[in-house]
């Protein structure tokens, strides 16, 4: 990934919030990101698409659910992104609180 592409992605607050959540939680589905960000599915998916196209995140499908995580990246990018989960993204605490309010995955996805 080129530095300019990374900084273009980081210029958007929603994408920074998504990255911070993914770093903190490892992998989240779109519905979890929607709840954490208090945003609609098309907006969250559009931002994830931009990050996926740039190689910053990878996706995996589980039934109808799409799960995203940070892609394998060079150490300089990992170091830069890690700062988002250590307080550089001021909305992270509120985002994590909304995510916790959803309950556990087993609670949400039980048959």
**Long-range Cβ contact pairs of 23-27 (< 8 A, separation 24 or more):** 23/70, 23/81, 23/82, 23/84, 23/85, 24/85, 24/92, 24/96, 25/99, 26/69, 27/67, 27/68, 27/69
For the ranges 11-20, 65-74, 75-84, 87-96, the lowest mean pLDDT is seen at 87-96
**Which pLDDT score is estimated for 25?**
92
**Which pLDDT score is estimated for 104?**
65
Q: Mind listing the domains of the chain with CATH numbers?
A: 3-98 (1.10.10.10)
Mean pLDDT over 28-54 rounds to 95
What's the pLDDT tens digit per position in 44-74? 999 999 999 999 999 999 888 899 999 999 9
pTM (whole model) above 0.85: yes
Q: How far is CA 88 from the centre of its chain?
A: 15
**Which pLDDT score is estimated for 7?**
93
């Amino acid at each position: 990934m080129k530095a300019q592409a990374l900084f273009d992605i980081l210029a958007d607050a929603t994408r920074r919030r998504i990255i911070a959540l993914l770093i903190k939680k490892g992998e989240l589905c779109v519905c979890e990101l929607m709840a954490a960000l208090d945003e609609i599915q098309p907006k969250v998916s559009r931002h994830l698409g931009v990050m996926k196209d740039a190689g910053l995140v990878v996706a995996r499908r589980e039934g109808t659910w799409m799960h995203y995580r940070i892609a394998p990246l060079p150490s300089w990018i990992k170091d830069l992104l890690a700062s988002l989960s250590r307080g550089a993204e001021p909305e992270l605490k509120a985002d994590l609180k909304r995510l916790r309010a959803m309950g556990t995955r087993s609670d949400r996805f039980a048959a």
